[in-house]
Amino acid sequence: MQDINDIITYILKSEAEQLKHLIDEWENNISHVEFDIFITEEWNGLIYFNEPADYSNEKIFDINFVNTVCDQLNTDKVIFSISLRYRMQMTSYYNNFTDHEKFFLIHFNVWKDSALPDEAISEYILIGEKNKGVMCIADLGFRMNLFNKDGQYLLSYSVFDSEDSLVEDKKDFEEIMEKRKEQFIYK
């Protein structure tokens, strides 16, 4: 993928191979780009966010960035949401069900918010590990919607696969991610 004058252009793997020297240079350069991640009081230190409009989405390819996020979240494994260009959120892989549910709700709300000016990147989540970097990508197999009905907010799930009743049974999100993850290879 290339970002030229605020336009995202997707390229084929064969085209990327021809640009390997530029990709190597990009990898070196991205490790020098500063980033700012922060928490909000609302999420009590459980979810970190990037500064919108910086290039921290690309930082997922920098192992030092992944290590910094792991250190700040006090974990060795982290979940990244990059649903839109310039918008990323991060949380510990080992959160409890309720905290994961909050994280994924934000993820899906940002993904489907057409009022936000950024381009859609992915509804998948990425899983990074300390000293290894981003290792896996996962399609969660569900979506979440929050509805206001008679003054009460109700959270509903849409499950894509009939065998994926994990969410409905209120099982651990780790089980869902482990079941659905695939190795993430970007080179």
Tally of domains in the chain? 1
What is the per-residue pLDDT across 109-151, written as a single tens digit (0 to 9) for each? 888 888 887 778 888 999 999 999 999 999 888 888 888 888 8
Note the pLDDT of residue 80: 94
**pLDDT greater than 70 at residue 14:** yes
Q: Is 104 part of any domain? A: yes
Does residue 170 carry a pLDDT above 70? no
Q: Which helix (H) or strand (E) holds 74?
A: none
Question: Residue 9 gets which letter from DSSP?
Answer: E
Please give the span between the terminal C-alpha atoms of the chain, in angstroms, as a whole number.
12
Q: Is the dihedral of CA 40, 48, 55, 31 positive or negative?
A: positive
Say whether 48 sits in a helix, a strand or coil.
strand
pLDDT of residue 2: 47
Instruction: Look up residue 187 and give its two tokens.
Output: 């080179």
Residue 120 is classified by DSSP as B
Q: What is the pTM of this model?
A: 0.81
Determine, yes or no, domain membership for 16: no
Check whether 19 has a pLDDT greater than 60: yes
Residue 57 lies in a domain: yes
Asked whether residue 113 is domain-assigned, the answer is: yes
Neighbours of 63 (CB within 10 A): 17
- 157: in domain: no
Residue 22, in any domain of the structure: no
Separation of alpha carbons 87 and 112, rounded Å? 13
Is residue 147 within 8 A of residue 154, CB to CB? The reply is: yes
* 49 to 12, 46, 81, 97, 165: CA distances (angstroms): 30, 10, 9, 20, 30
pLDDT recorded at residue 136: 94
On whether residue 21 sits in a domain, the answer given is no
Domain with 38, as residue range(s), is: 31-140+166-183
Residue 24 lies in a domain: no
Which residues lie below 8 Å from residue 135, measured CB to CB, with a gap of 6+? 127, 128, 129, 183, 184
